[in-house]
Amino acid sequence: MKSHSLLAAAAALAANVHLVQAHCFIWGVFVNGVDQGTFRAIRTPAYNGPPPRGYANSPVKDLNSIDMRCNVLGDKQVPHTIKVQPGDNLTFDWHHDNRTAADDVIADSHHGPAMVYLSPDPPAENSFVKIWEKGLYELGSEPFAPGKWATTADIAKNGGHMNVRVPAGLKAGQYLIRAEMVGLHEADASYEKVPWRGAQFYPNCVQIEVVGDGTVELPEGVSFPGAYKYSDPGVLYDVYCSTDKTRTATAPCTTTYQIPGPTVWSGAWPDTTQVAVGPVSGEVKNTRWNSWITKSVVTTATFVGNTPMVIATSTYTASWSARYVAPTAAA
Give CA–CA dist 57/49, Å, rounded.
11
Give CA–CA dist 308/294, Å, rounded.
15
Q: What is the distance of C-alpha 315 from the center of its chain?
A: 24
**Range(s) of the domain holding residue 272:** 24-284
How does residue 22 score in pLDDT terms, banded at 50, 70 and 90? very low
% of the chain exceeding 70 in pLDDT: 89
| Residue 307 is assigned to a structural domain of this protein | no
Q: Is 267 exposed, middle or buried (0-12, 13-18, 19+ CB in 10 A)?
A: middle
Give CA–CA dist 84/165, Å, rounded.
10
pLDDT tens figures, 155-194: 999 999 999 999 999 999 999 999 999 999 999 999 999 9
The CATH number assigned to the domain holding 144 equals 2.70.50.70
Q: Is 7 exposed, middle or buried (0-12, 13-18, 19+ CB in 10 A)?
A: middle
Contacts of 4 (CB under 8 A, 6+ apart): none
How does residue 70 score in pLDDT terms, banded at 50, 70 and 90? very high
Please state the domain count of the chain: 1
Higher pLDDT, 232 or 245: 232
| Residue 300 is assigned to a structural domain of this protein | no
Q: What is the distance of C-alpha 212 from the center of its chain?
A: 27
pTM summary value? 0.89
| For range 231-258, the mean pLDDT | 78
Q: Please give the single-letter amino acid code of residue 307.
A: T
| For range 225-253, the mean pLDDT | 80
| Residue 35 is assigned to a structural domain of this protein | yes
The pLDDT assigned to 19 comes to: 37
